[in-house]
Amino acid sequence: MRSLIIHFAIINIKIRFKGTYLGLLWTAIEPTLTFILLYIVFTSLRVRDDNFAIYLLTGIIIYHVFTRGTLAGLASLRGNRNIIKSLNIRNEIYPVMTTAATALLVFVQVGVFFGLMPFFHFIPPWTVVLLPIVIALVLLLTLGFSYILSIINVYVRDVQPLWTVIIHAVFFVTPIFWYLDNAQGILLEIHKFNPIGQIIELGHKIVVYGQIPPLADWLYTGLFVFAILIVGYALFQKYESRIAEEL
């Protein structure tokens, strides 16, 4: 099963970039262009933080993994409807496959991340060794949402444009280009229930500030992520029996 998932994940990557001139390079170009645009805008507004570039880049990379992963996961069933109808393969493999493809692409994005650090004279602290845990959390969160979105997309096609709107909205209420210490009111309340925001804050602490987040932060975020994963899988199992029929 593991080799099958990896095989389909590689195929998924090839399909995702089929017909493009730059191919896999888009995995690095997209978050980098977003970073450059936001960096220019906010440094023009005189953000007074020597590590703002790394703070911004950390958030963008993690958020990009989540958004691209969930968008691919959302389409995982409809995009493979011919295979689903012709082969007897367990349906839950398709969201797993797109998440595995996202995991493979993470290596490119993390490479860009560390490659840009010298340009900003930033030396990562030793706590950066905890970054794989943060990446694992965002991938598990992506899988949980992929289960939910993919099964809903089988029955309700409107979920695709709706999710695109949601991820753009969530970007602005997530501490990517603003600081949690400066948040107050409804923005701070939203953050408490924003799992991707919680993960990004863990990333900021271990990469930018060289801090080991308190155990309570790890537990809160981890329980949040696993709750979404369990709910997503349960929802998928409940409604998967009619997938082939609905497709």
Highest mean pLDDT among 21-35, 100-114, 184-198, 199-213: 199-213
If one compares 60 and 36, the residue with the highest pLDDT of the two is 60
> What pLDDT does residue 244 have?
63
Average pLDDT over residues 229-233: 95
The answer to whether residue 9 scores a pLDDT higher than 60 is: no
Average pLDDT over residues 87-108: 84
Q: Rounded to two decimals, what is the model's pTM?
A: 0.84
183: CB partners within 8 A, 6+ apart: 175, 191
Average pLDDT over residues 192-204: 95
The answer to whether residue 196 scores a pLDDT higher than 90 is: yes
The answer to whether residue 48 scores a pLDDT higher than 60 is: no
Rounded distance, CA 241 to CA 47, Å? 53
> What pLDDT does residue 226 have?
96
> What pLDDT does residue 12 have?
60
> What pLDDT does residue 29 have?
66
Confidence at 175, pLDDT banded by 50, 70, 90 = very high
Average pLDDT over residues 174-197: 87
Rounded distance, CA 11 to CA 104, Å? 12
Confidence at 27, pLDDT banded by 50, 70, 90 = low
> What pLDDT does residue 20 have?
55
The answer to whether residue 171 scores a pLDDT higher than 60 is: yes
Average pLDDT over residues 161-176: 90
Instruction: Give Cα 46 to chain centroid, integer Å.
Output: 29
Backbone angles phi, psi at 76, to 5 degrees: -65, -35
Instruction: State the amino acid at position 174 in one-letter form.
Output: T
Rounded distance, CA 69 to CA 148, Å? 13
pLDDT in tens, 124-155: 999 999 999 999 999 999 999 999 999 998 88
Average pLDDT over residues 23-52: 64
Exposure string of 77-97, with b = 16+ CB inside 10 Å and e = fewer, is bbbbeeebeeeeeebbbbbbb
Highest mean pLDDT among 51-55, 123-127, 164-168: 123-127
Highest mean pLDDT among 76-80, 117-121, 206-210: 206-210
Q: Is the distance from CB of 102 to CB of 16 less than 8 angstroms?
A: no
DSSP assignments along 145-167, one per residue = HHHHHHHHHHH-TTHHHHHHHHH
> What pLDDT does residue 40 have?
61
